[in-house]
Structure 1
Amino acid sequence: MYHVQFPGLGINVTLDPIAFKIGNHPIAWYGIIIATGFLLAFLYALQSCKKFRVDPDRFVDVVMVGIIFGVIGARLYYVLFDSSSQYIENPISVFYIWNGGLGIYGGIIGGLLFGSLMAKLRKLSIPAVLDLASLGFLIGQCIGRWGNFVNQEAFGTGTNLPWRMISENTDLVSAAGVHPCFLYESLWCLLGFILLHIFSRKYRRYDGQVFLLYTLWYGVGRFFIEGLRTDSLITPVIPLRVSQVVAAAAVIAAIVLLIVFRNRTVLTGCGSRKIMELNSIVDEVKPEEIEETYTDDGTSTIFDSAEQARTYMNEESETADQTESDSEDKPQDAPAADASLQDEKAGGEETKDGEAD
C-alpha cells in the first residue's frame, strides 16, 4: 500500500498494487494495466488495417507472434543489463517474470524482429505493418506507464516543481518530492500518437515513414526522461543509462534513414492524397456510393486502382443505359401487336358473316 501525494496540485491518493485475488493468487494492477494497453493498441491497429491496406486476418498472426517474442525480448533485455548477480546465482529466476524486470526497448526489439519475420511469411508489406505497429506501440506505452505509477517505480530525481510526487518509495530519494517520470513518458507518448495518427492519414509519403518518425519521437523523449530516473539500468562503460544509449542510437538511425528516403513515394495505403493518386490508390468509398459497389450476390467490389474503379463505374453506367433503352422500346411494340390482334378479330367476324350469307 502506498500513500502518494502531489502537494503542489493538492492531490493525495492511496494505491494498492494488488487489484484482487483469485484464491491465493494475487492479480496485480500492473498486469491489468499492461494488458489493457495491449488490447487497446491491438484494437486500434486492427481497425486501421483497412486504411493501411493490410489484411486483418494475417495481421492478427503478426501481432500474436510479436507479443510473445516482445515479452521474451523485454525479459532478456533486463536480465542482460542487470548489474546484480541474482541471475548468476539463481539462473532459474530468469523465468520468474511475475517478480518484475522487463525492459521496454527489449520488448520493442523482440516484437519488431519476429513480427516482421511473420509479416514476411504471411506476405504482408513489412514497412506498412511497422507503421501500424508504431501507432499501437504509442498507445500501449502511454497506458502501460501508469502501471509504474501504481507500483511507485520509474520515478526521477528530486525536484520542487508543482507536480512533484511524494510517497514511501520516493522518500528514499528526496523528501521534498521527485519527478513523476511515468507521467512524462505517458504524456509524451500520447502527444506522439495524436501527431502521428494525423500524419499517417494526411501526410504519409511512403510505407515505413511513420515507423521512422516514431523511432525518432520516442527516442528523443526517452533519452531525456531516462536521464531523470534513478532506478534504471546503467551502462558499465559510460555514465549513461542503457536506455539512453539505445535511444541515442535509434534517433541517429531514424534521422539518417529519413534523409535517405526523403524522396521516396512508394505508398500502399492511406497518406498524402497527392502520393495516393501517384500510386493509383483509391480513397475510401463515399457513403452515397456504397450501394453501387455491391454485386447481385451481395458481395462488395474492392478496387486496387483508380483506373479499375473508373472502368467498373463506366461499365455499370453503360449497362444501366442499355437497360433503360430496352425498357423504352418494349412499350412501342405493344400497340402494333394490339392492332394485329384487332385485324385478326375483324377478319374472323367477316368470315362468320360470309358463312351466314
Structure 2
Amino acid sequence: MLSYPDIDPVAIQLGPLTVHWYGLMYVVGFIGAWLLGRQRAHRLGLTKDDISDMLFYGALGVVVGGRVGYALFYGMDRLLDNPLWLFQVWDGGMSFHGGLIGVLLAAWLFARKHGLAFFQMTDFVAPLVPVGLGAGRIGNFINHELPGRVTDLPWGMPFPGMGPEPRHPSSLYEALLEGLVLFAILWVVSAKPRQRGMISGLFLLLYGVFRFAVEFVRLPDAHIGFIAFGWVTMGMLLTLPMIVIGLGLILWSRRQPVDTPPATAGDTQ
C-alpha cells in the first residue's frame, strides 16, 4: 500500500491571491497545445499566430463547456441551490464531455472563419487535446478528486477524508491513458496525412474505451451513484456514444479524401 502524497492543492498564496494546482494544470494543457499546434500549423495553411487565435477559441470552449457540462450532468442540485457555484471553477468540477462539446463548437467557429472543413479542424486539434487531459487528471489527483474504489493492489492508497482503506488512484490511471497513451497514439498516427475524420474518430474511440474501462475502478459521484444494474455510472453512459460515433467516423473516413498540406503554405511567423 502506498501513501497519498501530501500536496497542498494551493500552489501559490499571495495575500488575497490564491493559485490552485488545478488551475495551473489547465495552463499547462493550453501551453502544450499551443506549442504542438505551432509545429503543425502549416498543415492547414495557417500561421503560427493563427494558432494563438485557435487557442483562445479552444480555451473558451473548454472552460465554459466543461463547467456548464459538469453542472448539467453531475451538479444540477448544487446549481439550483446556488447558481453562483457555476462560476467557482477553482473548486473543481469540470466535465470532459461538456468541454468536448465546447471545443467542437469552438472548432466549428474557427474553421468557418478560416475557410476550413469541420473535420479538417477537428483532426488537427485531436492530437493536441490529450496534453490537457493528462494535466487535468493530475490536477484532480492533487485536488483529492475522483477517488477510486477499494483495492488490495500494492499501489492502492488511502484517499484523504475517506478512511484507511487503500483505493485505486483512478485519476492517475486516467492521466496515463487519456493523457500519455492517447497523445502518443494520435501524434504518431497523425504524423502523416490521413483521410479526413479518421483522427477525430480515433480520438473519440480511444478516449471512450479508456474512460469506460477506468469507470470500473473509479468511485461514482456520491450524489449520483450507480445509475443502472448496480454498476453502470454516469461516465459510462456519457462515454458509450463516443465509442459508437468514433467507430462510425473511422468507417466514414475511409471514403473521404486524404488531407494534405496546401502546396503553397509556409510555416511562417
TM over 0.5: same fold? yes
**Residue 330 of structure 1 corresponds to which residue in structure 2?**
none
Q: Would you say 1:45 and 2:37 are equivalent positions?
A: yes
Which residue identity does 1:199 align to in structure 2?
V
Identity in percent = 30
CA distance in 1, matches of 2:128, 2:47: 16
Pairs aligned (count): 262
CA distance in 2, matches of 1:116, 1:84: 28
Cα 1:12–1:220 shift into 2, 3 Å: closer
Equivalent of residue 201 in structure 1, options 184, 188, 191: 191
Report if the CA contact (8 A) 1:219-1:250 is conserved. Answer: yes
Q: Which has the higher helix share?
A: 1
Equivalent of residue 160 in structure 1, options 152, 156, 159: 152
**Residue 199 of structure 2 corresponds to which residue in structure 1?**
210
CA deviations on 1:178-228 (whole Å, 9 max, x unpaired) are 1111111111131121122111113x4313211110110011101111232
Please provide the CA RMSD for this pair: 2.4
Runs of at least 4 residues off by over 3 Å: 51-59, 231-239
Displacement of 1:86 in angstroms is 2.8
Q: TM-score, normalised by structure 2?
A: 0.87
Partner SS state of residue 6, structure 2: strand
CA distance in 1, matches of 2:182, 2:74: 29
Cα 1:101–1:303 shift into 2, 3 Å: closer
Cα 1:237–1:13 shift into 2, 3 Å: closer
Flag structure 1 segments of 5+ consecutive residues without an equivalent: 1-5, 270-280, 283-301, 305-357
Q: Would you say 1:122 and 2:118 are equivalent positions?
A: no
Larger Rg: 1
CA deviations on 1:12-46 (whole Å, 9 max, x unpaired) are 63211111212222211111122112211221112
CA distance in 1, matches of 2:43, 2:110: 21
Q: TM-score, normalised by structure 1?
A: 0.67
Larger RCO (alpha carbons 8 Å, 6+ apart): 2
Flag structure 2 segments of 5+ consecutive residues without an equivalent: none
**Residue 182 of structure 2 corresponds to which residue in structure 1?**
192
Report if the CA contact (8 A) 1:159-1:177 is conserved. Answer: yes
CA distance in 1, matches of 2:220, 2:76: 13
Which residue identity does 1:193 align to in structure 2?
F
CA distance in 2, matches of 1:136, 1:99: 25
Which residue identity does 2:228 align to in structure 1?
I
**Residue 72 of structure 1 corresponds to which residue in structure 2?**
64
Cα 1:80–1:12 shift into 2, 3 Å: closer
Cα 1:125–1:55 shift into 2, 3 Å: farther
Equivalent of residue 254 in structure 2, options 250, 256, 262: 262
